[in-house]
């Protein structure tokens, strides 16, 4: 480190140099990210609340009220009037908190000491972290031929040590929606915590349903659902890192609270201690600004873009993995290995990502990918297909 101070001008020259090496969402060439450019109004609120620390909410009562308001607003489209939870550091922290609550309650109420959780093969890898950190055995359920979770397979894996079942509403790789209603019934019959991971789908499915898309139920209207992860920093257009965890009632949060003696509050239940208030303020701003109509419009636009891309790649001779349910399109070329195809697309300056189950090119139609980018992508895919 430098001993003498360096001028602001010099510092920013250097920072700009490094930043110029980053990809930018606004270029429209990042195809494989579930995050996107934060809405301008969210950026503005974020900066205004930079110093607020929700780890010590007694000092930031106003920001705490904002966080509560955000949870209530999210609850209003997830069929719960008074959710209990937090705006946290992304979907991973949210999922770990949910599984921790399930484990602690099962331990205290049923005396389970060697717990297990049941997750679909399509579940996000954050559940591997959760199982490792919380010392729970992970039982993975294989998907059926259409990459869908079969609820009866879940039933077969339940035993006396099961502390939680996880269902996903909008899988990370393919945007599939698990049969949450069936999982809810199974969870209720067996008195097991059902956690729904809607990190990706939580800010789109409810709005698509509202404007007439026939998507399945996945929220607190299903009695077995005890917690839901929903990430403002994905389809909610909030800045990174904004995750959300909502519980059905206070009992769950209590089960993961520890004493926090030197703070202005007595208990803390998040994994991290000092934590941003800025993300809550930013999420508040963008949610108010867009309203349900705004999110419905964005979700529809993204889904329309996905359907447009899916139809186009099919016409070019590519094979879709599944018809898109949400704004993710996964495909392969019948004559190419996925990795080789990925390389050819990368060569044309696109940032691609591949799914693992099955192996495929995976394009997430986030808000930063506009029609003109898709048209350009299709033209490149046409060239690639014609050159082999
Ligand atoms: C993105 C994602 C996560 C993890 O969220 P982070 O914000 O990256 O921690 C968890 N579950 C699903 C379904 C996701 O799509």
Output the tens digit of pLDDT for each of the chain's 388 residues.
999 999 999 999 999 999 999 999 999 999 999 999 999 999 999 999 999 999 999 999 999 999 999 999 999 999 999 999 999 999 999 999 999 999 999 999 999 999 999 999 999 999 999 999 999 999 999 999 999 999 999 999 999 999 999 999 999 999 999 999 999 999 999 999 999 999 999 999 999 999 999 999 999 999 999 999 999 999 999 999 999 999 999 999 999 999 988 777 778 999 999 999 999 999 999 999 999 999 999 999 999 999 999 999 999 999 999 999 999 999 999 999 999 999 999 999 999 999 999 999 999 999 999 999 999 999 999 999 999 8
Q: How far apart are CA 133 and CA 127, in angstroms?
A: 10
The answer to whether 228 and 88 are in contact (CB under 8 A) is: no
The two beta strands, 328-332 and 319-320, are antiparallel
Name residue 196's beta-bridge partners. Answer: 167, 228
pTM of the model: 0.97
The answer to whether 270 and 93 are in contact (CB under 8 A) is: yes
Query: Is the shortest distance between the CB of 89 and ligand 1 below 6 Å?
Result: no
DSSP 202: G
**Sign for the pseudo-dihedral over CA of 142, 146, 150, 153:** negative
Query: Is the shortest distance between the CB of 126 and ligand 1 below 6 Å?
Result: yes
| Tokens 């019934």 -> residue | 185
Query: Is the shortest distance between the CB of 127 and ligand 1 below 6 Å?
Result: no
The pair of three-digit structure tokens given for residue 258, joined into one six-digit string: 């520890």
Query: Is the shortest distance between the CB of 175 and ligand 1 below 6 Å?
Result: no
Class of domain 23-37+291-387: alpha beta
| Tokens 């909410």 -> residue | 57
Q: How far apart are CA 46 and CA 240, in angstroms?
A: 10
Residues of the chain with CATH 3.90.1150.10: 23-37+291-387
Residues of the chain with CATH 3.40.640.10: 40-287
Q: Which residues, other chains included, contact 147 with Cβ-Cβ below 8 Å and sequence gap of 6+?
A: 122, 174, 176, 321, 322, 357, 358
Q: Output the CATH code of domain 40-287.
A: 3.40.640.10
Atom of ligand 1 nearest to the CA of 170: 13
Among 86, 87, 91, which residue has the most ligand 1 atoms within 8 Å of its CB, making it the best to mutate?
91
What distance in angstroms lies between residue 325's CA and the mean position of ligand 1's atoms? 18
What distance in angstroms lies between residue 229's CA and the mean position of ligand 1's atoms? 9
What distance in angstroms lies between residue 46's CA and the mean position of ligand 1's atoms? 21
Q: What's the pLDDT at 319?
A: 98
Q: How far apart are CA 8 and CA 5, in angstroms?
A: 9
Write phi, then psi, for 4 (nearest 5 degrees). Answer: -80, 145
Q: What's the pLDDT at 266?
A: 78
What distance in angstroms lies between residue 33's CA and the mean position of ligand 1's atoms? 11
CA distance to 15, 70, 75, 222, per residue, from 103 (Å): 44, 27, 24, 21
The pair of three-digit structure tokens given for residue 234, joined into one six-digit string: 């994905």
Q: What's the pLDDT at 263?
A: 78
Phi-psi region of 359 (alpha: psi -120 to 50; beta: other; left: phi over 0): beta
Question: In the chain, what are the helix, strand and coil shares in percent, each to the nearest 5?
Answer: 45, 15, 40
The pair of three-digit structure tokens given for residue 33, joined into one six-digit string: 């990210």
Q: How far apart are CA 99 and CA 101, in angstroms?
A: 5
């Amino acid at each position: 480190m430098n001993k003498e101070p360096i001028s602001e001008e010099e510092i920013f020259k250097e920072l700009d140099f490094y930043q110029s090496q980053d990809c930018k969402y606004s270029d429209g060439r990042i195809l494989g990210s579930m995050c996107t450019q934060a809405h301008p109004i969210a950026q503005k609120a974020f900066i205004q609340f930079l110093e607020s620390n929700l780890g010590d909410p007694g000092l930031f009562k106003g920001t705490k009220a904002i966080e509560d308001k955000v949870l209530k607003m999210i609850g209003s489209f997830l069929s719960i009037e008074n959710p209990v939870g937090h705006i946290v550091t992304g979907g991973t922290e949210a999922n770990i908190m949910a599984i921790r609550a399930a484990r602690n309650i099962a331990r205290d109420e049923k005396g389970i000491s060697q717990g297990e959780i049941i997750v679909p093969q399509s579940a996000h890898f954050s559940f591997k972290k959760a199982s490792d950190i919380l010392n729970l055995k992970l039982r993975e359920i294989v998907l059926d031929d259409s990459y869908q979770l079969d609820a009866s397979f879940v039933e077969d894996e339940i035993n006396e040590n099961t502390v939680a079942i996880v269902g996903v509403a909008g899988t990370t790789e393919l945007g599939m929606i698990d049969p949450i209603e069936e999982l809810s019934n199974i969870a209720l019959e067996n008195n097991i915590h059902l956690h729904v991971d809607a990190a990706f789908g939580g800010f789109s499915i409810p709005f698509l349903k509202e404007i007439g898309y026939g998507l399945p139920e996945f929220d607190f209207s299903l009695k077995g659902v005890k917690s839901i992860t929903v990430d403002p920093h994905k389809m909610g257009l909030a800045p990174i890192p904004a995750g959300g965890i909502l519980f059905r009632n206070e009992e769950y949060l209590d089960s993961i609270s520890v004493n926090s003696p030197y703070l202005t509050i007595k208990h803390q239940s998040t994994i991290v201690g000092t934590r941003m208030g800025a993300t809550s303020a930013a999420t508040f701003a963008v949610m108010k600004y867009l309203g349900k109509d705004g999110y419905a419009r964005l979700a529809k636009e993204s889904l329309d873009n996905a359907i447009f891309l899916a139809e186009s790649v099919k016409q070019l001779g590519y094979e879709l993995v599944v018809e898109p349910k949400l704004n993710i399109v996964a495909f392969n070329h019948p004559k190419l290995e996925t990795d080789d195809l990925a390389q050819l697309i990368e060569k044309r300056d696109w940032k691609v990502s591949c799914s693992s189950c099955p192996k495929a090119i995976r394009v997430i139609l986030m808000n930063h990918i506009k029609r003109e980018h898709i048209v350009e992508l299709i033209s490149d895919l046409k060239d690639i297909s014609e050159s082999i």
